[in-house]
Chains A and B, each alone.
Chain A
Amino acid sequence: MSELSKKTRKNSLDKEKMIELLKRMLLYRRFEEKAGESYAIGKIGGFCHLHIGQEAVAAGCIAPLRKEDYVIGTYREHTQALAKGVAPEAVMAELYGKAPGTSGGLGGSMHIFGSDVGFMGGHGIVGGQLALALGIAWGIHYRGGDQVCVCFLGDAAVNQGAFHESLNMAAIWNLPVIYAVENNAYGMGTKFSRVSETEMSQKSASHGVPARIIDGQDVVSTYTDFTEIVEEVRQGAGPQFVDVQCYRFKGHSMSDPVSGTYRSKKEVEDKTENADPITTLADQMFDSALLTPEELKEMDMEAREIIRRAEAFAESAPEPDTKSLYDNVYSEINPNGRLFFDGRVI
């Protein structure tokens, strides 16, 4: 994308769409802040990876999709699930490990699913979802549909074999999959440049998969660029690789400090002050008189209220039954033979 084409499209985005993107990002930010709070007081357990700072990626890459399109992601997927249309109550209840959670409380933060809206899960093995995305895209191709599959991955995942196997096969079969790297520059505490000799945008070249760079802190350009990419893929352009450059404002997970030995406090402060995707959009809209501070405040109150209700729902939701543990290990219990050997009686 040239700077110029980015600007023209930026201006062409209408007010309504900008407001929608702003509302989405506010919702995602407030959701993750609440998750962080609940984690701190022990309501949420395990690993919990927040998306704070990267909201423009969820909003900008997923808003251009249709319901029938697929999204698959990593363990940093709460807001992507919301973006694809999973209810905040169900996601929060899953984080709380409760029965009405998306996986009945058995999945947790890293495994949010919403198959009815095409959200094919959060996956916890770095690179694992890349191979699954290939199969989802194969399914579209097999049935001759015009959906697309967006596969999110972190920058660190491009060093996995699964990345290269997936891109190669997607390329030889021209599958409708968009590899969207949430390039937040770090895999845990490892800066990308320390573990890769080449730039991110070169990673797909040997597979013949076209690469693009998107400013993932700017939701308007992310949305406009992604809309274009999605349409191309829908029309048969085959797999695409997108380096969505973004920044994580919080630690890798809840147990990780925001800054530390691997990145300076100053670096994080600079980014939070100058590259917050929500402030960036709000400022753009203030400048063009498309938004007033009062309206922003109102939208924020609305987002907070939705999250408050989601949290209240999760808090009061029942715990899953012990019996439910065994319900979905197999989807078919064969009439003959034994499948479980633990000898436990419930």
Chain B
Amino acid sequence: MAEITYRDALNQALVEEMERDESVFLLGEEVAEYDGAYKVSKGLLERFGDKRVVDTPISELGFTGLGVGAAMVGLRPVVEFMTFNFSFLAIDQLINSAAKMGSMSGGQVTAPMVLRGPSGAALQLGSQHSQACEAWYLHAPGLKVVTPGTPADAKGLLKTAIRDNDPVVFMESELLYNLKGEVPDGEEFLIPLGVADLKREGGDVSIITHGQMIHVALRAADQLAKKGLEADVLDLRSLRPLDVESILESVAKTNRAVCLEEGWSYGGVGAQVTSILMEEAFDDLDAPVLRVTQADVPMPYNKRLEAWAKPNVARLVEACEKVCYV
């Protein structure tokens, strides 16, 4: 076990999987000579050469399609988006090609690949550079969506995603790249998709969240504890496949749930989780399920307004108290 950053954990995962499997290669803007816009691919060019670590032009649609096409003939591309904000230029290839390839070819052709990069807001980057993008990709069957929130998860989940036989949308966070944490050693450190992680155990309310937001949830849980309320903090880790069992288990115990996510509320992750709770845990619930999300506005630049628009500890604490009727 070593303490390393989220960034280095991702880097290790890439190195190990590229060493293990020759069909794995990385492509994207600035991934090679520049070492990656966020330095995730540092040193990879030197180690693997320019056939396996490929700098592309700024052509998201084209290089994402390249990834899907290469996957169709048996390679395992890792496509890096400088940030997921720019993946919208490639959304046609994600939704219309990658997600549908298996089904529309009757299983003849598949697209085993990873599409990765940071998603969500950093600080004061304005509306076009600050948005959580998971809901866009969760909507489409055929894609898997993974959102690691810790260095260990970043490594273990990326390795699994690269080995998975389907297109996996892998969303990191600009705010987490420098986060340090314990990461188990060993090339076979793999975290299965579809297994949530109970980050903190309490009995009074379930906070259901993922990605960067788990850190907001843990801080809120500390504050709640001081007020005498103990929260379960469930990190979903992978949104599709989704660990429904763990969600139901937690809510069966607490009878109350608050969904916390970075993105907008309409059609978001919390909307899906709430719907599952209505359908499958109605009798367990003692209060309506609440959601804490970003305000329904494009992210503002102004520092105070940005903080107001983001989901935060105070809003989450308030929502938890509300479902506990205190």
A103 touches B106 (CB 8 A): yes
A135 touches B192 (CB 8 A): no
Q: How far is the CA of A72 from the CA of B65 in the complex (A)?
A: 13
Q: Which of B56, B61, B142 contacts A162 (CB 8 A)?
A: B61
Neighbouring B residues of A162 by C-beta, 8 Å: 61-62, 65
Closest to B65 in A: A131
Are B108 and A115 neighbours in the complex by a CB distance under 8 Å? yes
**How far is it, in angstroms, between the C-alpha of A215 and the C-alpha of B296 when the chains are bound?**
56
Bound Cα distance from A131 to B238, whole angstroms: 28
Whether the pair A336, B195 counts as a contact (CB closer than 8 A) is yes
Assess the B70–A332 pair: CB atoms within 8 A.
Answer: no
In A108-160, the 8 Å CB interface with B consists of 111, 113-116, 120-121, 123-125, 128, 130-140, 142
B81 to chain A minimum Cβ distance, whole angstroms, is 15
Number of interface residues of A (CB under 8 A): 53
For A334, list chain B residues within 8 Å (CB). 144, 164, 192-194, 241
A residues near B105, Cβ cutoff 8 Å = 102-103, 107, 111, 113, 115, 121, 328
Convert B68-98 into 0s and 1s, putting 1 for each residue whose CB lies closer than 8 angstroms to a CB of A: 1111111101000000000000001100110
Interface hits, B86-132 → A, CB 8 Å:
92-93, 96-97, 102-110, 112
Question: What B residues does A332 contact at CB under 8 A?
Answer: 164-166
**A115 contacts which chain B residues (CB < 8 A)?**
105, 108-109
Interface size of B by CB at 8 A reads 54
Q: How far is the CB of A140 from chain B (nearest CB, A)?
A: 8
Instruction: Give the docked Cα–Cα distance between A140 and B70 (Å).
Output: 9
Given A120-B109, A329-B102; A128-B96 close (CB under 8 Å): yes
Chain B neighbourhood of A111, CB < 8 A:
104-105
Q: A166 to nearest B CB, angstroms?
A: 6
Q: How far does the alpha carbon of A125 sit from the alpha carbon of B68 in the complex, in Å?
A: 15
| Bound complex: CA A256 to CA B61 (Å) | 31
Cβ B69 vs Cβ A139 within 8 A: yes
Instruction: Give Cα distance in the complex from A142 to B66, angstroms.
Output: 12
Check if A335 sits within 8 Å of B97, measured CB to CB.
no
Q: CA A124 – CA B112 in complex, angstroms?
A: 21
- Closest chain B residue to A118, Cβ basis: B73
Question: Residues of B contacting A113 with CB < 8 Å?
Answer: 104-106, 108-109
Interface: B243 (CB within 8 A): yes
How long is the Cα–Cα vector from A48 to B193 in the complex, in angstroms? 40
Give per-residue flags for B6-23: 1 if the beta carbon is below 8 A from chain A beta carbons, else 0.
000000000000000000
In the complex, the answer to whether B107 meets A327 with C-beta atoms within 8 Å is yes
B106 and A102 form a contact (CB under 8 A): yes
- With A161-B61, A329-B142 in contact, do A134 and B69 touch (Cβ < 8 Å)? yes
Q: Which residues of the partner chain B approach A161 to less than 8 Å between Cβ atoms?
A: 61-62
Residue of A nearest to B107 (CB): A328
Determine whether the beta carbon of A135 is less than 8 Å from that of B142.
no
Inside 8 A of B298's CB, which chain A residues have their CB? Answer: none
Closest Cβ of chain A to B65, distance in Å, is 2
| Contact in complex: A169, B56 (CB < 8 Å) | yes
Identity of the chain A residue whose Cβ is nearest the Cβ of B192 in the assembled complex: A336
In the bound complex, residues from chain B placing their C-beta under 8 Å from that of A330 are 102, 141-142, 144, 166
- B155-171: which residues lie under 8 A (CB-CB) from chain A? 164-166
Neighbouring B residues of A103 by C-beta, 8 Å = 103-106, 108
Not counting A121-B109, A330-B144, A337-B242, a sample of 18 additional A-B residue pairs whose C-beta atoms are within 8 angstroms of each other reads A102-B106, A103-B106, A106-B104, A106-B106, A107-B105, A121-B104, A123-B97, A131-B68, A131-B69, A132-B72, A135-B66, A135-B71, A136-B72, A139-B73, A334-B241, A338-B243, A339-B144, A341-B276
A-B contact pairs, 16 of them (CB 8 A): A70-B73, A131-B61, A134-B65, A135-B67, A135-B68, A140-B73, A162-B62, A165-B59, A165-B63, A165-B65, A172-B57, A329-B103, A334-B194, A337-B195, A337-B244, A339-B141
Closest A-B pairs by Cβ, 3 of them: A131-B65, A337-B194, A135-B69
